[in-house]
Amino acid sequence: MALSSTIEKDIAIACICSALILSRCGYRIYHRYKGHAGSHRIWHADDMYMAIAVLPLISRTVCITLSFLLNPSSSREPATKDEAAAQNMTVDKLEHDRTVGLQLLVGTRLSYTLVLWILKAALLSFYSRFVRVTSWGKIAVNLLWCLLLVSCLVVIVAILAECRPMSLMWRLASKETQPACQKGMVYFFALAAVLFSIGLLVITITIVRIPLILGDAMSQKARSTWATIEILCSCIVANTPFFYGLLRELGQHKGTQPSATDPSRSEGPFYLQSKGADHRSYELQAANSDGNSQELIIMP
């Protein structure tokens, strides 16, 4: 069976996000076992969150792919004999496929939510390494963790409790008798509202997709496409600090930076490292060759 363009885009973006995450994790693991120094080479908690994010990302891709294969039109109406004959199957078989396809959408929404919130947890874990050294930083980080957990639970509850009983979410009915909760409006607006806590890029995507989705009569394909774009943007935002540190290191190797074994540079007055539990999260180095100025360089 040929895959639709929507499915192909979902799979392609999932592969890109997985490649970003796995390359990051592979880099950390490789240098960890090699024993190389450097804060950007140490396995941190945010790397664990990034690795975990691959699981719901795969789950969402599988669920949305199977849903569109079983129910390409995302129809919520009972099958007719003509529709069944056009697809060379019985009416019961076609209705079964549509029901299973709608059930898979629940898994898609849950997986999508988990991907975004795990990526947010990775970002929060990364930035918390730099502010936990202060008393106010610890309080702020703890409050943000609580907010992150509560917001995730709000969206999950909106998904599971919008239709009561839940079986209404995949019940086939004519347009006149379809339950309003099938469209997932409560979940959609709850998710859109909470997503404003993410970075500016993802906020922009959220703003853009709301009128487009509503203008497309809440088309499942439109929702899936914009959700996929949002996952890609979130993944890029969450991985930017790591790849920035990696590119900076490569640039240093290609330039004329002093050797790391030079004691005059590694322990001089222009070099300061934190050696606490955060495993060297930031460095203060000479900004130029003559050592007249300094710059704070934050490493992921």
Write the DSSP assignment of the chain as a string of letters: -PPPHHHHHHHHHHHHHHHHHHHHHHHHHHHHHHT---GGGS--HHHHHHHHHHHHHHHHHHHHHHHHHH-TT---SPP-HHHHHHTTS-HHHHHHHHHHHHHHHHHHHHHHHHHHHHHHHHHHHHHHHHHTTSHHHHHHHHHHHHHHHHHHHHHHHHHHHSSSSGGGGG----TTT--GGGG-HHHHHHHHHHGGGS-HHHHHHHHHHHHHHHHTTT-HHHHHHHHHHHHHHHHHHHHHHHHHHHHHHHHHHHTTPPPTT-HHHHSSTT-EE--STT-S-EEEEESSTT-S-EEEEE--
pLDDT of the residue at 233 = 74
Say if residues 68 and 30 touch (Cβ distance below 8 Å).
no
Q: Give the span between the Cα atoms of 182 and 176, in whole angstroms.
A: 13
Contact by Cβ (8 Å): 237, 201: yes
The rounded distance, in Å, linking the Cα atoms of 141 and 161 is 30
d(CA 47, CA 43): 6
Domain layout of the chain by residue ranges:
5-255, 256-300
* Number of residues written out for the chain: 300
Q: How far is CA 8 from the centre of its chain?
A: 19
Evaluate the omega torsion of the peptide bond into residue 165 and state whether it is cis, within 30 degrees of 0: yes
209 Cβ neighbours under 8 A, 6+ residues apart:
226, 229, 230
Give the DSSP per-residue string, 204-217: HHHHHHHHHHHHTT
- Contacting residues for 87 by C-beta, under 8 A, at least 6 apart: 94
Residue that is written with structure tokens 């990364």 in the block: 126
Distance in angstroms (rounded) separating the CA atoms of residues 65 and 14: 12
CA distance 9 to 252: 37
| Number of other CB atoms surrounding residue 284 within 10 Å | 15
Contact indicator for 229, 212 with CB cutoff of 8 Å: no
Q: Whole-model pTM above 0.85?
A: no
Tens-level pLDDT at each residue, the chain (300 residues): 667 888 888 899 899 999 989 988 888 888 776 655 555 567 788 889 989 999 999 999 999 999 999 998 888 899 889 989 998 999 999 999 999 999 999 999 999 999 989 988 888 888 788 777 778 878 888 888 898 899 899 999 989 988 888 888 898 988 888 888 877 778 777 877 766 554 544 555 555 556 655 565 556 666 677 677 777 777 777 777 677 666 766 666 565 444 444 444 444 433 334 444 444 444 444 444 454 444 444 544
